[in-house]
Structure 1
């Protein structure tokens, strides 16, 4: 999480926002943040598992997230800056993100459980 915040601060410092920018809706922002965090998780896991990713910049991977969600990097940054000024709104968004990620995690667990072969109980030896 600390790394994500640092990355966002770096993006904000590098890219100036337009005053007439359009703020993403809470639902859209939650969707984008969910994808950003999933992207970070995959990147960090793979970076250490496969040494060749160590020089890859995670910011490059966000371009796919922005494309998937049909937004620009600038729209994301502008919206993040906007919601950062309103902690309650940002908290509501992150509650949606956490709830969505938790639901996805539970769904994956259920799929794994259902994919496991059913074991027959062993008969007692007398």
Structure 2
């Protein structure tokens, strides 16, 4: 991949990373600031349900943060955009849709097919 394209993807990935880290910080801040006491058990249960949902979202985002950091490392190493399975170039369209991907569409399709079988 050309250096200019790799840098373009670096900017996209860094922007996503910054946004995810900012959102995670907001969540932590909001949860530590909440000192609300709900006498009604239904209100308390609703708050707990909302918190659990928020934490599940943040856990998914934490995993995405790790994938983004790995993708930036691949850019640094010159391996970004190369399928880890067949070692062919991953299409630019696929990288635009999912910049953290490590597999070309053919290998990803095969992986999903194998998962359905097994």
Please report the TM-score for the alignment, with normalisation by the length of structure 2: 0.31
Quick one: higher RCO (CA 8 Å, sep 6+), 1 or 2? Answer: 1
Please report the TM-score for the alignment, with normalisation by the length of structure 1: 0.30
